[in-house]
Chain A
Amino acid sequence: MTERRRWPLWALRLGGGLALLALWDLGASLSHNLLLPRPGPTLVALAHLVFDPALWRALAISNQALALGFLGAALVGVPLGCVAGHWPRAGRWLDPYVNVLVVLPTPVLPPVIFMLMPPGLWARALVVALFALPIVVQYAETGVRRVDARLRDVARVFGATPLQAWRRVLLPAAAPDLLLGLRLGLSRALEGMVVVELLIMAVGVGQLLQDYQARFESPSMYAVILVLMAESALLARLGRTLEGRRQRLSVAA
């Protein structure tokens, strides 16, 4: 048999990207829709945008809510999930609340929050947190619940205090699920960040999008979307790197 030459991954990715661009171009040229810009002008707008301080100001404003909200979701969600995973009764008590948040169509959240709180950074952060929270809780809960019963026995036999058992056995054993939950939670948080700015409070990137839309500057609007896609790809990449470092340590025995 002849050995087949395999394309390197970067080439395949590049090919996929070019194919998408071609499809986009084809679709835009066929539809004759003025609001659907072709890739060329969009990329030109993108080049202008990245040198525009307005973009970076908008990103800074939006990401404040993202960072604050995600941090909150992690600080509340991880312990909550751990408690629920460790004590089955607590888990059963918590389940319906988490499930409601999971199933709830998320655009419902911002209006409710903004009726309860003054609009501002904290309200936006709260929306972000509520988007991310159920995922973080559920993965932490699953991770802790799935810790091998033998490992719990090991902790007890060798005289671990409850705190030592958490630090030395339960958390490291649950770490893969925990980190996965945080990574998926982060992408949900990003979703929350944009949704709140589009639906309720036009600030940051959301405001930028709406301004361009109102002025029919479709290429610029699409360029902003490309920037958001780049940010989410970057964050996902970062999360995966952190996770991978951890994963290598906890290779399954």
Chain B
Amino acid sequence: MIDVRQCRKVYRADTTREPLVVLDGVDLHVSEGEVVAVLGPSGCGKTTLLRIVAGLASWEGGEVRVGGAPVTGPGRDRAMVFQDFALLPWATVSENIAFGLSLRGASAAERHDAVHRLVGMIGLRGFEDRYPSQLSGGMQQRVGLARALAVEPRVLLLDEPFGSLDSITRRGLQDDLLALHQETGKTVLLVTHSVDEAARLADRIVLLSPRPARVLDVIDTGLPRPRPAHLERDARFAALKDDLWERLKQPSAR
């Protein structure tokens, strides 16, 4: 579904400074219906990689394909969930969820149906006419998720979606995401700097090195789907997290 081959990204801030190599030949493959987490330290270029797949950023070398077609810009097959929610503050929950649909010229009835269905799915019934500022962070990100799902993308791109939430809220949303994936079977590419989150959510984890980012390892989590109810007590989960930490501590990972 997503194929990135030898992707290279260089920032040239201005002519006086050395060009900054952000991605140095990154490979990434995500199959249909798979959840892949890109894990790496802050500032390693994970988000840049995601923005490239989303069609928001350019790259210098290599190939980027989604669904077999080369990426030339944003497309209807992809939708993104942003780290700090990025909801339209002047629009209600309903209007935010229907944003992508209304840009496509969907009828009022279509938008209403989609909003009705998604509001139920994310548990925000009764909040349709609230504004983002009247919602908690967790609720706002649910709206962000619903906005992405509303356009029925084949691929969901999540940019550290739960990074700015407290740990209790984060756990709730992670469980929601797992349930949602179980239900819809969407392809998910997730960027995170949380070892726990990557292990909890992903089928495979792509470990990136600090800048310039290279792929250190691709790890199969081997955890069953649906996830066991008490993942914390699962020996495989603990072993996986240990393993990830070890690999991130390797000299080559610094």
Contacts and interface: CB of A to CB of B under 8 A. Distances in A.
Q: Do A and B bind each other?
A: yes
30 contacts: A150-B84, A151-B88, A153-B51, A154-B82, A154-B86, A154-B88, A156-B74, A157-B54, A157-B55, A158-B74, A158-B99, A158-B147, A159-B75, A159-B100, A159-B103, A159-B104, A161-B103, A168-B99, A169-B88, A172-B90, A173-B88, A249-B90, A249-B131, A250-B89, A251-B131, A252-B133, A253-B87, A253-B131, A253-B132, A253-B133
A159 B74 CA distance: 7
A164 interface: yes
B76 interface: yes
Contacts of B145: none
A150 B82 contact: yes
Interface string B67-88: 0000001111011101011111
A95 interface: no
B94 interface: no
B20 interface: no
A150 B86 contact: yes
B87 to A, nearest CB: 6
B46 to A, nearest CB: 16
B89 A157 contact: no
A168 B103 contact: yes
A211 interface: no
A94 to B, nearest CB: 22
A158 B89 contact: no
Interface string A136-161: 00000000000010110110111111
Contacts of B104: 159
Contacts of B56: 153, 156-157
Nearest to A149: B86
How many A residues are at the interface, by size bracket? 20 to 34
B48 interface: no
Given A157-B56, A157-B80, A164-B103, 5 more contacts: A151-B86, A156-B73, A159-B74, A251-B89, A253-B85
Contact of B79 (A157, A164, A168, A172): A157
Contacts of B215: none
B104 to A, nearest CB: 7
B151 interface: yes
Contacts of A154: 82, 86, 88, 99
B192 interface: no
A235 to B, nearest CB: 25
B209 interface: no
Which of A157, A173, A175, A253 has the most chain B CB within a 10 Å cutoff? A157
B133 A158 contact: no
B164 to A, nearest CB: 12
B78 A157 contact: yes
A148 B147 CA distance: 18
What band does the interface of chain B fall in when counting residues whose beta carbon is under 8 Å from A?
20 to 34
A171 to B, nearest CB: 10
B140 A253 contact: yes
A8 B239 CA distance: 67
Nearest to B51: A153
A173 B84 CA distance: 16
Contacts of B80: 153, 157
A250 B92 CA distance: 10
Contacts of A173: 88, 90
A116 B56 CA distance: 50
A159 B103 CA distance: 7
Nearest to B157: A157
Contacts of A156: 55-56, 73-74
Nearest to B140: A253
Given A157-B74, A159-B104, A160-B103, A253 B82 contact: no
Interface in A147-192: 148, 150-151, 153-154, 156-161, 164, 168-169, 172-173, 175
Contacts of A160: 103
Residue from A151, A159, A252 with most neighbouring chain B CB atoms (10 Å): A159
Nearest to A156: B74
Interface in B99-134: 99-100, 102-104, 131-133
Contacts of A157: 54-56, 74, 78-80
A251 B151 CA distance: 26
Nearest to A161: B103
Interface string A231-252: 0000000000000000001111
A153 B103 CA distance: 14
B82 A250 contact: no
Contacts of A252: 89, 133
Contacts of B73: 156
A167 to B, nearest CB: 10
Nearest to A150: B86
